[in-house]
Structure 1
Amino acid sequence: MHTEYRTKRKIEFADTDMAGIVHFSRFFVFMEAAEHEFLRSLGTSVATEWDGNKIGWPRLTASCEYLSPLRFEDEVDIRLWISKKGTKSLTYQFHFTHEGKDIARGQLITVCCIINPGKKMRAIPIPEFITSQIVTQ
């Protein structure tokens, strides 16, 4: 059972803005990348097949609170955990730190959906092969 996932990321020049700090939008990219790594660690993917259907995780909400800047070549520690496991949704929390200092906090709420080409997307209960591996905090 997984309660949290941790990863690191080196800040690249392309992540920064004119002021030389990480552009606010990049934190959403970092959260999504951490989510994808987490799902792969469970043996699945953000886009997988199950019961003859393609399953994906569209976002219902995404937010980020910025506490301190990051700069080019900083290494940021990213901690992800699931704070709520609904029947059809997962709520992820993110905590970004650099050298022990709080940098940002984020949240993603994702919904498990069948996404088949040419058909309307629809929310479904999260399959057991995923929920059985997740513990909320």
Structure 2
Amino acid sequence: MATQAHHFACHVYYEDTDLAGIVYYANYFKFIERARTEWVRDLGVDQRALKAEDGVVFAVRRVEADYLSPAHFDDDLLVETTLDSLSGARIVLKQEVKRAGEVLFSALVTLVAIGAAGQPVRLPATIRRNLH
């Protein structure tokens, strides 16, 4: 499924690293989460309103992650998010963390729409339209 990539810039701070100055592995999940939040916002989706009005929230169902090369303290990174696939209640995204064009971390993230009781629900039509 072709879609335009979304880009989110981030900077590696001391708090993101281990004693060797290398980004701690779990912090890549923070970087891609922030990028997904901005991606959804840029699609025109107000997640607070979606929850309040429709009772729908997004939850991460699955993440496949590949650590390819380390990022370091003071690096400028770019998180690229692209839509991989879309179904009635599921969004699959490809996310890559890059430094100067080099892919350091790659993830395939499956999001599901869930209702107040935690059950899967269909994505609202407005979101599906924005993703096509």
Taking structure 2 as the reference length, the TM-score comes to 0.90
Higher helix proportion (structure 1 or 2)? 2
Instruction: Mark the CA change 1:51 to 1:7 in structure 2 (over 3 Å): closer, same or farther.
Output: closer
Aligned to 1:80: 81
Taking structure 1 as the reference length, the TM-score comes to 0.87
Calculate the aligned-residue CA RMSD, in Å: 1.7
Gaps in structure 2 of 5+ consecutive residues? none
Does the 8 Å CA contact 1:114/1:122 hold for their aligned counterparts? yes
Aligned to 2:120: 123
Aligned to 2:101: 100
Query: What does the per-residue CA deviation read over 1:74-121, in whole Å, with 9 as the maximum and x for residues that have no partner?
Result: 001111011010110000101121112221111210101112xxxx22
- Equivalenced residues, count: 130
Task: Determine helix, strand or coil for the equivalent of 1:61.
Answer: strand
Instruction: Mark the CA change 1:101 to 1:9 in structure 2 (over 3 Å): closer, same or farther.
Output: same
Does the 8 Å CA contact 2:60/2:111 hold for their aligned counterparts? yes
Take 1:68 and 1:47, find their aligned partners in 2: how far apart are those partners? Answer: 36
Take 2:72 and 2:36, find their aligned partners in 1: how far apart are those partners? Answer: 23
Aligned to 1:62: 63
Take 2:56 and 2:62, find their aligned partners in 1: how far apart are those partners? Answer: 18
